[in-house]
């Protein structure tokens, strides 16, 4: 099941080798497109050679179709991919600045690496410039750090913004790309110059372009039709991957561990109470939220729990552990990283804490203080909570 | 090595290869492609060679290479080395491995190198501000439909087209 955790499979060195090989493929594809030549890249901005647009968008839509097709079929868990975080305004301003750098310098960081590798001196100078620019950024950042961290959303997809399904969005993106390709061809016919961008190594007939476009549209339509798996179907697909955490009880925590974590500043607990509202109203833990199992099938509700800060831990409480297990399954396949079940819900809670006192005072049952832990032996429970993070190799470019 | 370079591949063909590589990156490593992250790491480790106390002081540098932390011990570096190797292999096989300076006809070589350095500086600055370059943000984020990446991508094109007219002398035929 994809994505594979390659560094676990092959170790650190093996993982680095895979990164190297992927990089090699990346370098080859950029070089094949002719991106080692600044004149070709700059020509994009004079409408003489639209290779940048064509190659880049072809790359995007091919990868996009493969990802969402694999996800739709159930071969790939999209929630496990590192989607670039959205910092909308810093991204837009940085993009505008980069556009200027692109046309002044003739490369972008990736293509300047390829140019340098093929001994282009201007590529090397550009690459040295990017290193200096990165340094200059670090030096000047303190004066606008608030802006740099503004307009942030952890995982905000075009489909969320449009309010469309992923399938519909992918279909629209493909149509837009094809429309842009058609426009690019027409524009090029008009402005093309002799220097770059005329002959390719092989000519493709008009008919094969049409077949190519038809294939893209058909795959996009297929993705739209099969749709992305909902949490229930997704659990069936990925059960083998996660089920052992339930059967081994590795995600069931003891009330004392809950109390301990709740009093630790390095952990931020988010407690979801799945009991009936009347039971919730009668008694609940401070800070817990009453939710229904159906809420947890709603991507908008769940987005809050997949986008917690790294120290965030979600704990589920229910009348019956079978309900918490179901909730755990739904949340797990939607990408909630640190997810635990309070074993046996609140059934043991009262008997554990009811008659206890700390420094002569009865304890607050809804939020027992850390002092309570001293009343129990050290080995009263086995600690289970381990803070994991989804950011595997994230920040490759950040 | 061949005297005349091979013509470049059809841009759509190169794009399909690029897309497959990008998919492989996501499937095997959970994340997409990138270049500027590694460039930031190289910058920090160079700074550290000469002025290591300064690295500990500047927030973004410290995050990558404070104290004993080796800024270069990161997957992105190997991705960059691979990109370099791939570029060299492909250029070699296609007869494009040649020392040269690409420039417009109306400027001197020195001028071109100056503007390449300046453009790189602007680009490097912008890439850190936008948290990614054309490959890391636009390409990788675009494929997984990240809204920020799409906004970023259009900004790059807008920025380039807005300035292109004023620097046309740099790229004259």
pLDDT, tens digit, for every residue of B88-136? 999 999 999 999 999 988 899 999 999 999 999 999 999 999 988 888 8
Answer yes or no: do B146 and A158 touch at CB < 8 A. yes
Q: What is the CATH number of domain A231-380?
A: 3.40.250.10
What pLDDT does residue A390 have? 56
Residue A87, strand partner residues: A152
**A40 in Cβ contact with B7 (< 8 Å):** no
Pairing status of strand A252-253 against strand A152-153: unpaired
**A115 in Cβ contact with A38 (< 8 Å):** yes
What pLDDT does residue A363 have? 83
Residue A6 near chain B (CB below 8 Å): yes
Residues near A252 by Cβ (< 8 Å), separated by ≥ 6? Answer: A321, A340, A341, A342, A343, A384
What pLDDT does residue B9 have? 85
Closest residue to B159, CB basis, from A43, A60, A95: A95
**A345 in Cβ contact with A288 (< 8 Å):** no
Among B76, B81, B102, the strongest candidate for a mutation testing the A interface, having the largest count of A CBs within 10 A, is B102
* Mean pLDDT value of segment B139-166: 94
**Residues B61 and B78 grouped into a single domain:** yes
Range of the domain at B168: 101-173
What number is the ipTM of this complex? 0.94
Alpha helices in A33-79 (DSSP H): 38-43, 51-73
Residues near B129 by Cβ (< 8 Å), separated by ≥ 6? Answer: A90, A93, A94, A97, A137, A148
Among A57, A130, A169, the strongest candidate for a mutation testing the B interface, having the largest count of B CBs within 10 A, is A130
What pLDDT does residue A391 have? 52
Cα–Cα distance, B83 to A55 (Å, whole number): 17
What pLDDT does residue A203 have? 62
Instruction: Give percent of chain B with pLDDT exceeding 70.
Output: 98
Please report, for residues A273, A323, A347, A349, B147, the alpha-carbon distance to residue A281 in angstroms, rounded to integers and kept in the order given: 11, 19, 16, 16, 40
B26 pLDDT above the threshold of 90: yes
Answer yes or no: do B18 and A130 touch at CB < 8 A. no
**A365 in Cβ contact with A350 (< 8 Å):** yes
- What are the structural domain ranges in chain A? 6-226, 231-380
- Domains in chain B, number: 2
C-alpha distance from B128 to closest chain A C-alpha (Å):
6
Residue A97 near chain B (CB below 8 Å): yes
Answer yes or no: do B163 and A104 touch at CB < 8 A. yes
Using CA atoms of B148, A314, A335, A177 in order, give the dihedral in degrees to the nearest 10.
Answer: -20
**Residues B90 and B160 grouped into a single domain:** no
Judging contacts by C-beta atoms under 8 Å, the chain A residues touching residue B31 are 81-82, 392-394, 396
Among A191, A393, A396, the strongest candidate for a mutation testing the B interface, having the largest count of B CBs within 10 A, is A396
Helix (H, G, I), strand (E, B) or coil at A273: strand
Q: If chain A, 398 residues long, is cut into consecutive pieces of 10 residues, what is the mean pLDDT of each piece?
A: 82 90 96 93 91 95 97 91 89 95 94 96 96 91 88 87 94 96 89 57 75 96 94 89 89 91 89 93 91 90 84 92 93 91 88 80 84 83 79 43
C-alpha distance from A291 to closest chain B C-alpha (Å):
29
Answer yes or no: do B76 and A396 touch at CB < 8 A. yes
Residues near A294 by Cβ (< 8 Å), separated by ≥ 6? Answer: none
Cα–Cα distance, A170 to A174 (Å, whole number): 6
User: φ, ψ for residue B104 (rounded to 5)?
Assistant: -75, 165
What pLDDT does residue A394 have? 42
What pLDDT does residue A396 have? 44
Look up tokens 């039709």; give the residue: A225
Residues near A151 by Cβ (< 8 Å), separated by ≥ 6? Answer: A86, A87, A88, A89, A90
C-alpha distance from A179 to closest chain B C-alpha (Å):
14
**Residues B35 and B46 grouped into a single domain:** yes
**Residues B30 and B83 grouped into a single domain:** yes
- Compute the residue count for chain A: 398
Closest residue to A91, CB basis, from B99, B144, B148: B148
Answer yes or no: do B167 and A123 touch at CB < 8 A. no
Pairing status of strand A268-273 against strand A289-290: parallel
B67 pLDDT above the threshold of 80: no
What pLDDT does residue A198 have? 52
Helix (H) or strand (E) holding A126: helix A121-140
């Amino acid at each position: 099941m994809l994505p594979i955790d390659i560094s676990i499979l092959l170790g650190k060195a093996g993982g680095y080798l895979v990164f190297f090989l992927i990089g090699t493929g990346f370098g080859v594809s950029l070089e094949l497109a002719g991106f080692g030549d600044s004149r070709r890249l700059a020509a994009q901005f004079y409408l003489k050679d639209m290779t940048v647009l064509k190659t880049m968008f072809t790359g995007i839509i091919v990868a996009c179709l493969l990802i969402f097709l694999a996800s739709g079929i159930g071969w790939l868990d999209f929630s496990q991919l590192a989607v670039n975080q959205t910092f909308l305004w810093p991204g837009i301003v940085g993009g505008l600045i980069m556009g200027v750098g692109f046309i002044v310098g003739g490369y972008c960081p990736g293509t300047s690496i390829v140019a340098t590798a093929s001994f282009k001196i201007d590529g090397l100078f550009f690459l040295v410039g990017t290193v200096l620019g990165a340094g200059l950024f670090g030096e000047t950042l303190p004066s606008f750090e608030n802006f740099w961290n503004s307009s942030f959303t952890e995982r905000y997809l075009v489909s969320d913004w449009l309010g469309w399904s992923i399938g519909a969005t992918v279909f629209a993106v493909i149509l837009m790309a094809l429309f842009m390709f058609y426009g690019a061809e027409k524009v090029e016919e008009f402005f093309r110059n002799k220097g770059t961008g005329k002959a390719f190594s092989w000519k493709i007939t008009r008919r094969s372009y049409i077949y190519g476009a038809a294939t893209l549209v058909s795959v996009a339509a297929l993705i739209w039709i099969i749709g992305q798996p909902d949490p229930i179907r997704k659990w069936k697909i990925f059960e083998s991957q996660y089920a052992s955490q339930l059967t081994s009880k590795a995600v069931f925590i003891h009330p004392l561990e809950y109390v301990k974590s709740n009093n630790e500043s390095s952990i931020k607990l988010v407690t979801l109470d799945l009991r009936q509202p009347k039971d919730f109203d009668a008694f609940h833990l401070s800070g817990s939220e009453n939710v229904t199992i159906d809420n947890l099938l709603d991507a908008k509700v769940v987005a809050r729990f997949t986008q917690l800060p790294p120290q965030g831990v979600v704990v589920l409480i229910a009348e019956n552990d079978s309900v918490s297990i179901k909730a755990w399954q739904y949340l797990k396949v939607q990408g909630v990283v640190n997810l635990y079940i309070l074993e046996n819900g609140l059934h043991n809670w009262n008997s554990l804490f009811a008659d206890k006192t700390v420094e002569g005072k009865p304890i607050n049952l809804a939020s027992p203080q850390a002092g309570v832990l001293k009343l129990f032996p050290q080995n009263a429970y086995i600690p289970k909570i381990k803070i994991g993070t989804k950011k595997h190799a994230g920040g490759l470019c950040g | 090595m061949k005297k005349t370079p091979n013509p470049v591949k059809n841009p759509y063909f190169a794009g399909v290869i690029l897309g497959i590589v990008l998919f492989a990156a996501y499937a095997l490593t959970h994340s997409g492609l990138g270049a500027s992250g590694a460039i930031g790491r190289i910058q920090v480790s160079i700074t550290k060679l000469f002025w290591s106390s300064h690295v500990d002081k500047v927030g973004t540098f410290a995050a990558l290479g404070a104290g004993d932390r080796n800024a270069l011990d990161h997957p992105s570096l190997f991705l960059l080395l691979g990109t370099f190797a791939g570029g060299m292999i492909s250029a070699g096989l296609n007869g494009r491995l040649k020392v040269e300076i690409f420039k417009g006809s109306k400027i001197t070589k020195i001028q071109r190198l100056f503007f390449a350095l300046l453009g790189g500086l602007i680009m490097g600055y912008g890439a850190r501000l936008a948290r990614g370059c054309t490959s890391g943000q636009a390409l990788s984020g675009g494929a997984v439909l990240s809204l920020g990446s799409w906004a970023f991508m259009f900004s790059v094109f807008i920025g380039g087209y807005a300035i292109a007219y004023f620097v046309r002398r740099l790229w004259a035929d």
